[in-house]
Structure 1
Amino acid sequence: MSKNNDEIFKNVISHAKEYGFVFQSSEIYDGLSAVYDYGQLGAELKNNIKTYWWKAMVQMHENIVGIDSAIFMHPKVWKASGHVDGFNDPMIDNKDSKKRYRADQLLEDKIARYEKDGKQDKADQLQADMDTALKSENLSELRDLIINHEIACPVSGTRNWTEVRQFNLMFSTQFGAMAEGSEEVYLRPETAQGIFVNFLNVQKSGRMKIPFGIAQIGKAFRNEVIARQFIMRMREFEQMEMQFFVRPGEDKKWFEYWKTARLKWHQALGTSAEKYRFHDHTKLAHYANAATDIEFEFPFGFKEVEGIHSRTDFDLSQHQEFSGKKMQYFDNDLNEEGKPYGNYVPYVIETSIGLDRMFLLTMINAFEEQDISTEDKKDSRTLLRLHPALAPVKAAIFPLTKKDGLPEKAREIMNLLKLEHNVTYEEKDAIGKRYRRQDAIGTPFCITVDHQSLEDNTVTIRHRDSMEQERVPADQLERIIAERVSWKNLLS
């Protein structure tokens, strides 16, 4: 990571804390590793990202509905999904530092160093050897690769490694009043299974016809041993997932459709197209026949923000087998197409986006340190160039002074605007300082009420990005703001 990128990332993290976007969880007790709280502005921005996703998925598609399934599920769900037996990371400990690492991540870091040093042949060979070892779950081979490529512990600098062991990432707890006789249940490691077990409930109650989708936003929990890069990889996180049920044989077509549709959703926010790329998986999960990641260029490199997976009929078939309940769809439409009536287990295309990663992407993309010096004066500002629809606060209302009836007039305007929008009122400090504070949290409009406002009911509206000011009638404010912050601007 270049020093410049490193600095940008550090500045975004400190900005997030200073202005009430993200705090370390339990900070007064020295924090809890890889767990974060969203502050007053962070919660607003997060909710706006959720709303954008939900509207784009559910409101804009007649054949997609949303649910909210429980975090606790029957333990057999996770047996059927493969998480009990297969949701593991290969871990290795350094005996001197007592630090634990994911073996594959140590090897990936080494591959990246080889590439940086121009040793592409070595990088390719190590990648191939690692893929083979991971595929066959050969843990001793993973350790041999770490030893043979002289990978040292980043903390102790030594190569005194333990054996590689599998570490299950699911949190478990006791379900029931008494520990004896209670059942072990898991905190869900993903939200998708809540959709699969409700497939028939939704299909029948909603009279849904294939193809159709079920969307959900919810918390998931993974006992990540290696949690790093701020809110990129957390132990408690939020997912926005949609499972799209299709006819067998039509999965490839829908996989391509959702790849294109999801990238458009990201780019509608105004992000530069060069910042995004597709990364197709060469090593597929056992249930998938195609998988791709939408990656964004963070200051620390391209990382996944969303996955699109063609999951075949694996999930529904597994739940059919473990529950003994038929997870099939009776397709009337096949007869109209000259094919016999069909009872089949649908195939699934999944789109899964990490909300916390999307939040970080949004902050990094919007963060700007701007030099606005003139010939007479050196000046700068920190700006969050958020899309107006996502901005936590849509408008700030300022009385020019704290007297002469200006606060009362400003409050009158605020009370009107807050019926539709999240707005704020501020009268402390000079106008310039107030502008800077609102720029730093991404507020698209600042409205100043002055003495002229009392005479002709006009106000000054100042635009965040251009810093231009215009005089407008106060009774036009609702329309001006509504037009700019409308979800239409993103969804159309």
Structure 2
Amino acid sequence: MASADVVTMDKIVALCKRRGFVFPASEIYGGIANTYDYGHYGVLLKNNVKAEWWRAMLQDRDDVVALDSAIIQHPRVWESSGHLAGFSDPLVQCLGECKKRWRLDHLQEAAVERGEDPSLVRCPQCGGELSEPRDFNLMFKTQIGTVADTGSTVYLRPETAQGIFVDFKQVLAVSRKKPPFGIAQIGKSFRNEITPGNFIFRTLEFEQMEMEFFVPPAESQTWHEHWMKARFDWYTDLGVREDHLRLRPHEQDELSHYSSGTSDVEYLFPIGWSELEGIAHRGDYDLSAHQQGSGEKLEYFDPQTRERYLPHVIEPAAGCDRATLAFLVDAYDEEELEGGDVRTVLRLHPRLAPVKVAVLPLVKKDGQPELAREIRDSLRRVGQTEYDEGGSVGKRYRRQDEVGTPWCVTVDHQTLEDRTVTVRDRDTLEQERVAIDDLPALIAGRLAQPWRSPKA
């Protein structure tokens, strides 16, 4: 069972806006439904999430190569993949006062959870009757060229995977790889969601971290099991509490048309268990579809066995924004200090923390600021650093706690005498005196150590 938690989505949203992690886009014009901008700390955190994904896919392996495919693909890509015909959600509209549109499947799922008859759902906002459902394609259309006509219609990609499949032959030819091997990419995708919501969990534009692993058909089940474990372990290795994670196999009626088996890595958000990542066994559906649609042979020829085959595909597909949100939620903590004061702290894995070290002069005089900046500069190559001299040192500690900075280095009067500083640990609040010259090695060593959340 998951342990009790103080975090709520309202607290996460408030912290993200207060500290500049994430805030509504075009807010001075009233914003637009579920589009968000990432501020300084949000960019650093999200980049660290992506860097750890690349580390797991490329740096720690020899059987995956990188790709960055175009957002706008030839329209026939989406025809062959089935997105034009089948990438849709059941849309209903309230016939009562509010006239809002809803995804019927979401309303029915919520009714089942409440123990109600899903065939009798009504508008959750005003209680009005709902229209008959109709299919709503989730892809955004746009035009290329100077004249908007039928021949110029293209689409913003709803997933990054198809760019990998249509580049399979080219990558295979130049990468000197053979199945089993993977092609990985991170990139923006766009979906015209009917009911976006829950902060950055579901948005109109989002970033995906997807890898397609091409395998001999006889090895596909073994590799599916391998990637389910590898992807679950990625989250726990980065500090997510294991009792807040689960690997849930899809029921038969949940499976996508291309999948013979999919399991989701789910996290226990304040909104309930929700998907972070799917690991799907796609078979040869995609390569077969694009081979037929393009007329290009996409088979692999094994020179040793003289066998020609379409590889099967195992796809771990993660949402970067959802992963970032899960790391934020899992890290959020409140701690009561002496005197009844409450400290808000993000207990992020140090490798994910936006800032690794903050350097704070105790006072803004006597040469302390100059020496603090010198120390900051010496630590830049170890990780992202920050210099902070505004307000009392206690308030500066609190600011750094709220953005998840694991270590604060304080320069004081003793520093000027013996070139030692105080290093404060975010999680334990312990402080130790360390020689300035030893700081880079100390911080680098701590970043390399395994880490477990104090909340676990």
State if a TM-score over 0.5 links the two structures: yes
Count the aligned residue pairs: 445
| TM-score of the two chains, using structure 2 as the length reference | 0.95
Residue 153 (1) aligns with residue 123 (2) = yes
Task: Tell me how far apart the structure 2 counterparts of residues 161 and 210 of structure 1 sit (CA, whole Å).
Answer: 50
Q: 1:221 matched to which residue of 2?
A: 190
Task: Tell me how far apart the structure 1 counterparts of residues 437 and 5 of structure 2 sit (CA, whole Å).
Answer: 45
Task: Tell me how far apart the structure 2 counterparts of residues 42 and 462 of structure 1 sit (CA, whole Å).
Answer: 23
Secondary structure at the aligned position of 2:276 is classed as strand
Task: Tell me how far apart the structure 2 counterparts of residues 39 and 472 of structure 1 sit (CA, whole Å).
Answer: 33
Q: 2:231 matched to which residue of 1?
A: 262
Equivalent position to 2:364, from 402, 420, 425: 402
Equivalent position to 1:457, from 400, 419, 436: 419
Q: 1:190 matched to which residue of 2?
A: 159
Runs of 4+ in 1 over 6 A off after TM superposition: 4-7
Task: Tell me how far apart the structure 1 counterparts of residues 234 and 333 of structure 2 sit (CA, whole Å).
Answer: 23
Residue 291 (1) aligns with residue 292 (2) = no
Displacement after TM superposition at 1:482 (Å): 1.0
* Amino acid in the other structure paired with 2:276: V
Displacement after TM superposition at 1:454 (Å): 1.5
Task: Tell me how far apart the structure 2 counterparts of residues 287 and 380 of structure 1 sit (CA, whole Å).
Answer: 50
Q: Cα RMSD over matched residues? A: 1.5
* Amino acid in the other structure paired with 2:28: I
Q: 1:101 matched to which residue of 2?
A: 102
Task: Tell me how far apart the structure 1 counterparts of residues 244 and 376 of structure 2 sit (CA, whole Å).
Answer: 38
Residue 309 (1) aligns with residue 274 (2) = no
* Per-residue deviation, residues 158-217 of structure 1 (Å, max 9, x unmatched): 2x2211100000001001122247510000000000100110111110111110000000
* Per-residue deviation, residues 364-386 of structure 1 (Å, max 9, x unmatched): 0000111012xxx2322100000
Tell me: CA distance 1:163–1:42, structure 2 relative to 1, closer, same or farther (3 Å).
same
Displacement after TM superposition at 1:420 (Å): 3.3
Task: Tell me how far apart the structure 1 counterparts of residues 13 and 35 of structure 2 sit (CA, whole Å).
Answer: 14
* Amino acid in the other structure paired with 2:108: L
Secondary structure at the aligned position of 2:386 is classed as strand
* Per-residue deviation, residues 215-270 of structure 1 (Å, max 9, x unmatched): 00000000001111111111100000000000012111111111111111111022
Residue 67 (1) aligns with residue 67 (2) = yes
Aligned ranges for residues 332-481 of structure 1 at < 5 Å? 332-333=303-304, 335=305, 341-373=306-338, 377-481=339-443
Q: Which has the larger radius of gyration?
A: 1
Secondary structure at the aligned position of 2:327 is classed as helix
Task: Tell me how far apart the structure 1 counterparts of residues 151 and 105 of structure 2 sit (CA, whole Å).
Answer: 36
Displacement after TM superposition at 1:485 (Å): 2.2
Displacement after TM superposition at 1:331 (Å): 1.0
* Amino acid in the other structure paired with 2:186: I
Displacement after TM superposition at 1:297 (Å): 0.6
Q: Which runs of 5+ in 1 are unaligned?
A: 115-122, 127-144, 336-340
Secondary structure at the aligned position of 1:244 is classed as strand
Q: Which runs of 5+ in 2 are unaligned?
A: 452-456
Q: 2:87 matched to which residue of 1?
A: 87
Q: Is the 8 A contact 2:239 2:348 kept in 1?
A: no
Displacement after TM superposition at 1:439 (Å): 0.5
Q: 2:454 matched to which residue of 1?
A: none
Secondary structure at the aligned position of 2:314 is classed as strand
Q: Is the 8 A contact 1:74 1:185 kept in 2?
A: yes
Tell me: CA distance 1:256–1:162, structure 2 relative to 1, closer, same or farther (3 Å).
same
Task: Tell me how far apart the structure 2 counterparts of residues 428 and 275 of structure 1 sit (CA, whole Å).
Answer: 37
Displacement after TM superposition at 1:65 (Å): 0.6
Task: Tell me how far apart the structure 1 counterparts of residues 432 and 219 of structure 2 sit (CA, whole Å).
Answer: 54
User: Percent sequence identity over matched residues?
Assistant: 49
Displacement after TM superposition at 1:444 (Å): 0.6
Q: Is the 8 A contact 1:242 1:351 kept in 2?
A: yes
Secondary structure at the aligned position of 1:238 is classed as strand
